[in-house]
């Protein structure tokens, strides 16, 4: 709002006083009115929560009155009138105020009048507490909890306020609980919460998320605020937290993301935040990671794209489709199956490859629904392939987060039964990321699936830390050797040796070998010398539409 009445120096004073009040007020929203000009400044949070016109307002009292419940308005009006008439120096009242969505919040509002040296009313300052906000408090740390986090974040996004968000986790907390007991663990979390609150100060708000995670939201422009708070917290924790006289050293990891555009929602921002958080833990030894999105898009586009993709899941999977890459028998060079590969497209973003969204969304609560759709769609297509080639096997990729769901086996079985699909002709591909799961759970799930005849393949063999360990521990039917091991096999003797060793390992555990990324006839020629069962790669075919697979089967078998 333009102001042409309040002089510059008065405005500067208003700003300075307001800043002092905001620091002291912590969790309350504050307001400050220069009564000589009836010119006010209100907390941004209050402005966004109630959809007020601006943080600077002329005649804020009247504007605010419009937000107050009709039944409470009279009392409010009289209270304000007595103050401006100089009949009272303070007010303390409760009323209901309406938000832009029409819901009412119960607010407590306290204010006092400050007079100048001549005894004239100069400032009216105070704080408004929104009671429903007080409910989202974590009882252990006293910080706002994850519901508060989502509520606040949604509010900022809805009101087009730029924010920077951080997510911090404590490493190996299960071990801490084991060593120091539940009580000790709680004390440590309390201490972490307290320190976080201290380092964030008035630069933002600290939250206790689920488990051992903490959040930060800051409305200040620079994302460095989040990084600085995190680094300060790490510096403190590296000195150790004292619990019952013992000093415990904690390690942290953290992700952060800047929300500069508002064509998104809190859930999508949280998925991005979680992705950066995982990278910090898995790849950066705890250095904070900023979410940058996929390499070929900027971060803003990336968050928008993810939001649109995430929304497609709840809109009947609009824009999603599957392509199929043939799997070829190494001996006969005929098609024996195919791997289903996910794609998404829409008018604005074009065709988006799975690497750009699966890694970010696979931990999202929406992903299992997409996983089920993929399975159903692939099985339905495969039934058409089986009609032409009765031994055809369809491979479907799984994310580890799908396997984690306790009804996962049931979902797979239901899909198979509902479509009357032969279970032996379904092969589920899992990657080494599944080592993040509890091994007992994974083993159990695999045995249940296998007891029905479903096959399981280990994808991208050799790219992780524990390939050999997994093959030893789990009953895989097929090992898929990643293309990075065969790219130079025509010239590189070491790659040949590696592949021969890999196939020996697979044979030892009765698993078949499929080699991915065959791009030339020379590669196929060499690999045929080892006990490789099947091939997959651009030399035979890129991922293609259903009808192309039908054509290939016809070409290889029917004619």
- By rule CB under 6 A, what string of x and - marks binding of each residue 293-332 to ligand C2E? --------------------------------x-------
Q: How far is the CB of 406 from Ca ion (least distance, A)?
A: 24
Measured distance CA(289)–CA(293) in Å, rounded: 11
Residue 358 contact partner, candidates Ca ion, ligand C2E, none, CB within 5 to 8 A by sort of partner:
ligand C2E
Residue 21 contact partner, candidates ligand C2E, Ca ion, none, CB within 5 to 8 A by sort of partner:
none
Residues 399-428 that bind ligand C2E (CB under 6 A): 399
Return the number of the residue (364 or 459) whose C-beta is nearest Ca ion: 459
Return the number of the residue (280 or 401) whose C-beta is nearest ligand C2E: 401
- By rule CB under 6 A, what string of x and - marks binding of each residue 347-386 to ligand C2E? ------xxx--x---------------x------------
Q: How far is the CB of 356 from ligand C2E (least distance, A)?
A: 9
Q: What is the residue whose two structure tokens read 């801490």?
A: 176
Q: How far is the CB of 395 from Ca ion (least distance, A)?
A: 7
Residue 355 contact partner, candidates Ca ion, ligand C2E, none, CB within 5 to 8 A by sort of partner:
ligand C2E
Residue 189 contact partner, candidates Ca ion, ligand C2E, none, CB within 5 to 8 A by sort of partner:
none
Return the number of the residue (304 or 516) whose C-beta is nearest Ca ion: 516
Q: How far is the CB of 446 from Ca ion (least distance, A)?
A: 17
Q: How far is the CB of 288 from ligand C2E (least distance, A)?
A: 26
Question: Which helix (H) or strand (E) covers residue 156, if one does?
Answer: helix 146-158
Other C-beta atoms closer than 10 Å to the C-beta of 372 total 17
Backbone angles phi, psi at 538, to 5 degrees: -60, -25
# residues contacting ligand C2E (CB under 6 A):
23
**Does 537 engage in binding with ligand C2E (CB under 6 A)?**
yes
Residue 302 contact partner, candidates ligand C2E, Ca ion, none, CB within 5 to 8 A by sort of partner:
none
Measured distance CA(367)–CA(360) in Å, rounded: 10
Return the number of the residue (126 or 517) whose C-beta is nearest ligand C2E: 517
Interface residues with Ca ion (CB under 5 A) are 397, 429, 459-460
Classify burial at 177, counting beta carbons within 10 Å of its beta carbon; exposed 0-12, middle 13-18, buried 19 or more: middle
* Residues contacting residue 501 through CB under 8 Å, at least 6 positions apart: none
Of 240, 227, 146, 235, which is closest to residue 191 (Cα–Cα)?
240
Of 139, 417, 375, 161, which is closest to residue 264 (Cα–Cα)?
161
Return the number of the residue (460 or 556) whose C-beta is nearest Ca ion: 460
Q: How far is the CB of 430 from Ca ion (least distance, A)?
A: 9
Q: DSSP states of 346-379 as a string?
A: ETTTEEE-GGGTHHHHTTSTTHHHHHHHHHHHHH
Please check whether residue 466 is in contact with residue 432, taking contact to mean a CB–CB distance below 8 angstroms.
yes
Strands (DSSP E) contained in 250-319 are 252-259, 289-290
Residue 398 contact partner, candidates ligand C2E, Ca ion, none, CB within 5 to 8 A by sort of partner:
ligand C2E
Of 136, 139, 162, 158, which is closest to residue 149 (Cα–Cα)?
136
Return the number of the residue (73 or 363) whose C-beta is nearest ligand C2E: 363
Return the number of the residue (61 or 537) whose C-beta is nearest ligand C2E: 537
Query: What is the 3-state composition of the chain as percent helix, strand, coil, each rounded to the nearest 5?
Result: 45, 25, 30
Q: How many Å is the Cα radius of gyration of the chain? A: 30
**Does 147 engage in binding with ligand C2E (CB under 6 A)?**
no
Measured distance CA(62)–CA(39) in Å, rounded: 12
Among 147, 321, 538, 557, binds ligand C2E (CB under 6 A): 538
Return the number of the residue (190 or 463) whose C-beta is nearest Ca ion: 463
CA angle 238, 239, 240 (to 5 degrees): 90
Residue 506 CA, distance from chain mean position: 36
**Does 545 engage in binding with ligand C2E (CB under 6 A)?**
no
Residue 353 contact partner, candidates ligand C2E, Ca ion, none, CB within 5 to 8 A by sort of partner:
ligand C2E
Measured distance CA(532)–CA(481) in Å, rounded: 10
**Does 519 engage in binding with ligand C2E (CB under 6 A)?**
yes
Structure tokens at 69: 């419940």
- By rule CB under 6 A, what string of x and - marks binding of each residue 453-492 to ligand C2E? ------xx----------------------x---------
Q: How far is the CB of 175 from ligand C2E (least distance, A)?
A: 30
Measured distance CA(111)–CA(127) in Å, rounded: 7
Measured distance CA(361)–CA(401) in Å, rounded: 10
Strands (DSSP E) contained in 20-81 are 29-34, 39-42, 56-58
Return the number of the residue (80 or 374) whose C-beta is nearest ligand C2E: 374
Of 257, 325, 377, which is closest to residue 549 (Cα–Cα)?
325
Q: How far is the CB of 461 from ligand C2E (least distance, A)?
A: 10
Determine the residue with CB nearest ligand C2E: 537
Return the number of the residue (340 or 416) whose C-beta is nearest ligand C2E: 340
Q: How far is the CB of 460 from ligand C2E (least distance, A)?
A: 5
CA distances from 155 to 25, 50, 95, 114, 509 (A): 20, 10, 21, 32, 55
Residue 399 contact partner, candidates Ca ion, ligand C2E, none, CB within 5 to 8 A by sort of partner:
ligand C2E
| Binding stretches for ligand C2E (CB under 6 A) | 325, 340-342, 353-355, 358, 374, 397-399, 459-460, 483, 516-519, 536-538, 543
């Amino acid at each position: 709002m333009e102001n042409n009445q309040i002089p510059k120096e008065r405005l500067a004073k208003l700003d300075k006083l307001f800043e002092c009040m905001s620091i002291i007020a912590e969790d309350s929203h504050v307001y400050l009115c220069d009564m000589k000009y009836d010119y006010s400044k209100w907390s941004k949070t209050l402005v966004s929560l109630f959809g007020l016109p601006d943080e600077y307002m002329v005649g804020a009292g009247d504007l605010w009155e419009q937000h107050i419940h009709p039944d409470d308005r009279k009392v409010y009006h009289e209270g304000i009138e007595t103050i401006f008439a100089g009949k009272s120096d303070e007010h303390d009242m409760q009323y209901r105020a309406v938000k832009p969505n029409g819901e009412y919040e119960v607010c407590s509002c306290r204010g006092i009048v400050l007079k100048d040296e001549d005894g004239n009313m100069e400032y009216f300052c105070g704080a408004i507490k929104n009671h429903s906000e007080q409910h989202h408090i974590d009882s252990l740390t006293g910080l706002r909890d994850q519901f508060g986090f989502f509520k606040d974040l949604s509010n900022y996004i809805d009101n087009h306020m730029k924010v920077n968000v951080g997510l911090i986790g404590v490493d190996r907390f299960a071990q801490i609980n084991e060593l120091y007991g539940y009580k000790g663990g709680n004390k440590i979390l309390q201490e972490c919460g307290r320190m976080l609150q201290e380092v964030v100060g008035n630069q933002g708000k600290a939250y206790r998320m689920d488990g051992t995670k903490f959040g930060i939201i800051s409305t200040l422009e620079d994302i460095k605020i989040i990084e600085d708070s995190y680094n300060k917290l790490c510096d403190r924790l590296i000195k150790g937290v004292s619990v019952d006289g013992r000093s415990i050293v904690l390690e942290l990891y953290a992700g952060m993301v800047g929300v500069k555009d508002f064509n998104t929602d809190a859930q999508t921002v949280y998925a991005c935040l979680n992705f950066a958080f995982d990278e910090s833990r898995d790849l950066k030894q705890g250095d904070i990671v900023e979410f940058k999105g996929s390499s070929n898009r900027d971060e803003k586009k990336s968050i928008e794209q993810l939001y649109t993709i995430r929304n497609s899941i709840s809109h009947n999977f609009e824009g999603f489709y599957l392509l199929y890459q043939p799997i070829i028998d190494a001996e006969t060079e005929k098609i024996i199956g195919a791997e289903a590969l996910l794609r998404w497209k829409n008018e604005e973003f074009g065709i988006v490859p799975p690497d750009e969204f699966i890694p970010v969304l696979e931990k999202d609560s929406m992903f299992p629904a997409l996983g089920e759709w993929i399975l159903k769609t692939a099985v339905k297509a495969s039934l058409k392939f089986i009609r032409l080639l009765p031994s055809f096997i369809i491979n479907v990729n799984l994310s580890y987060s799908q396997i984690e769901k306790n009804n996962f086996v049931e979902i797979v079985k239901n899909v198979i039964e509902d479509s009357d699909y032969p279970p032996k002709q379904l092969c589920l591909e899992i990657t080494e990321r599944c080592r993040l799961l509890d091994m007992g759970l994974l083993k159990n799930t695999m045995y249940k699936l296998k007891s029905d005849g479903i096959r399981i393949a280990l994808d991208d063999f050799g790219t992780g830390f524990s390939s050999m360990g997994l093959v030893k521990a789990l009953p895989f039917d097929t090992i898929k050797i990643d293309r990075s091991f065969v790219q130079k096999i025509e010239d590189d003797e070491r790659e040949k040796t590696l592949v021969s060793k890999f196939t020996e390992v697979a044979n030892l555990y009765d698993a078949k070998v499929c080699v991915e990324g065959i791009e030339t006839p020379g590669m196929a020629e060499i690999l045929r010398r080892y006990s490789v069962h099947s091939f997959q790669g651009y030399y035979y075919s890129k991922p293609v539409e259903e009808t192309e697979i039908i054509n290939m089967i016809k070409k290889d078998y029917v004619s």
